[in-house]
Amino acid sequence: MTVIDVGPADLADGQIRVVRIAGRPPPRMSVIVTRSGNEWRAYWNVCQHLPIPLDGGLGRLDDGLVCVSHGARYRPEDGLCVEGPCRGAFLESIDVRAREGRLLVELQSG
Ligand code: FES
C-alpha cells in the first residue's frame, strides 16, 4: 500500500480537488477528493460509463461530480451515479484521512 499526500485538508463542504498521481498507468492516474459534510471522500477519477477521467484531463470539476463526457452525475457521499448512462454504478472509492492539516489517500499497489 502507498500513502499519498493529496493536499491540504481545507476543502469546503462539496468542494472537489482532482489530483494527478505520478507513475500510475491508465485508467487510474488521478484521484478525486471531496468533502461531504464532515467526512472526506476520495475516488479514482474514472467514469463508470467508459474508463476515462470524469474531468476529461482538465484537472478540475467545476460542476460537482459530473463527467464532462456524457454527463454522468455521481453522489459525493458514496460515489453512486444518480443520473446518466451508468446510473446505479459506483465510483471506485479510496481510503482517505486527514492528518496534521493534510489529506492522505491509501492506494493499493499496481
Ligand atoms: S464517459 Fe463519463 S458519462 Fe460517458
Among protein residues, the one whose CA lies closest to atom 4 of ligand 1: 70
* Mean pLDDT for the stretch of residues 44-51: 98
Distance 102 CA to ligand 1 centre (A): 30
Match domain 12-94 to its CATH number in 1.10.10.10, 3.20.20.70, 2.102.10.10, 1.10.10.60: 2.102.10.10
73 lines ligand 1 (CB under 6 A): no
Answer yes or no: is pLDDT of 44 > 80. Answer: yes
pTM: 0.95
DSSP states along the chain = -EEEEEEES-PPTT-EEEEE-TTPPTT-SEEEEEEETTEEEEEES--SSSSS-TTTTSS--SSSSB-TTT--EE-TTT-BEEESTTTT-B--EEEEEEETTEEEEEE---
Write down the pLDDT at residue 64.
Answer: 95
* Mean pLDDT for the stretch of residues 80-93: 98
